[in-house]
Amino acid sequence: MDFLVGWIAIVPSYATPLLLASLGLIVCERAGILNLGAEGLMAVGAMTGAIAVLSGLDPWAALAAGAAAGTALALLFGLATVVMRADHTLSGLAVVAVGLGLTSVVGRPYMQKTFPGIASFGDLFDIDRTTALGRIVAVQDPVTLAMPVLVALLWWWLMKSGSGLRLRAVGENPAAADVAGIDVQLAQLGAVLVSGLLCGLAGAYLCVATSHVWVEGMIAARGWVAVALVIFARWNPARALVGALVFGSADALVPRLQAIGADIPVYLAMMLPYLLTLVVLVASSMAGRASGEPSFLGRIYLRQDKH
């Protein structure tokens, strides 16, 4: 029971970065741009967040700085894919390389230096930690609490609002959207920047709010898990919330087991999130037509082509 409460308590903080990143990717891919760069965008966000806090900035400002850094790198990706019509897959991989390389070079002096994170509810309010509920609530922070709200807003915007419909039209059929007077390139570029913002924030949250330390390679393929999560979520923000909780639980299991001193093969247990991702991908792929994949995802739109 004790183990269970401790596990449930930390799941949101592991699910939040995955959720933020996959929400960003959903917006981007709904506009038809396949974004495989999440790992690099998150890496840049995490390192920038750490540098900001270590330079004396408020942790909240550090989250914003991480988001801004992710947006800046996404601008490069947008320039390549949207403006210069480069191959989405290779551009995404290049962004991962730039992000991982840049953080390794720039972040070296900031490695392994711990810092205070954002305040949890336990710090802000006087919460009775004797009950299970109290113990769970005490370790949550305002960002995790905001997640359901963000998901609801994004779902409403994407699925119910006029501008959300226009964005989805670009990803489904850019030629039709173009004829309807939608600026295809502008919509795609905006969507790419949103993905950079949210992936950067995801990385910064992971670093500033969860680990309180920056180490090279700390994203540890979570960006790729987010890419897979989008497929599981069928490009729907509401399903992404469910997926992020499932993956967050798997991710949080190993540190939790270590914390109670369980004798498990740690590295084998750490394979769990990756293997779970593969299983989920197979299950999602079997859904076939119902997968919800935007029809024009990853393809290059030229106005005069017959699509």
Partner 1 sequence: MLDAAFLVRRQAPGLLLSGLCYAGGLAFGLAVSAVLLVQAGVPAAALVDEFLIATFLTSDGLAQTVTAALPLVLVGLASAVAMRVRFWNIGVEGQLWLGAVASTWIGLGGTGPDALRLPAMLLLSAAIGAAWIAIPLVLKLRFGVSEVISTLLLGSVAFLLVQHLLFGVWRDPATGFPVTAAFLEAARFPSLGWGQLHGGLFVVGIVAVLVWFMLGHTRAGFYADAVGLNPKAARAAGLPATATVVGLVLLSGALSGLAGMTIVAGTEHRLNQSVGSGYLFSAIVIAYLAGARPFWVVVVALALGAVFTAGSVLKVFYGISEGMIVLVQGTVLISILMAQFFGTYSLSRPGRGEAS
> Least distance (Å) from partner 1 to the CB of residue 188?
10
Buried b (16+ CB within 10 A) or exposed e, 166-194: bbbbbbbbbbebbeeebebbebbbbbbbb
Contact 18, 248 (CB under 8 A): yes
Considering the rule CB under 8 A, would residue 302 count as an interface residue with partner 1?
Answer: yes
Considering the rule CB under 8 A, would residue 113 count as an interface residue with partner 1?
Answer: no
Considering the rule CB under 8 A, would residue 281 count as an interface residue with partner 1?
Answer: yes
Whole-angstrom Cα Rg for the chain: 19
Residue from 4, 83, 146, 260 touching partner 1 (CB under 8 A): that is: 83
Considering the rule CB under 8 A, would residue 151 count as an interface residue with partner 1?
Answer: no
Contact 116, 212 (CB under 8 A): yes
Contact 195, 202 (CB under 8 A): no
> Least distance (Å) from partner 1 to the CB of residue 83?
7
Considering the rule CB under 8 A, would residue 84 count as an interface residue with partner 1?
Answer: yes
Residue 286 CB-density burial (10 A; 0-12 exposed, 13-18 middle, 19+ buried): exposed
In three-state secondary structure terms, 122 is helix
Q: With contacts defined by CB under 8 A, name the span among 16-24, 146-154, 216-224, 236-244 that binds partner 1.
A: 216-224
Which parts of this chain interact with partner 1 (CB under 8 A)? 36, 40, 76, 79-80, 83-87, 89-91, 93-105, 108, 175, 178, 183, 185-186, 189, 216, 220-221, 224-225, 227-228, 231, 265-268, 270-271, 274-275, 277-278, 281-282, 285-286, 302-305
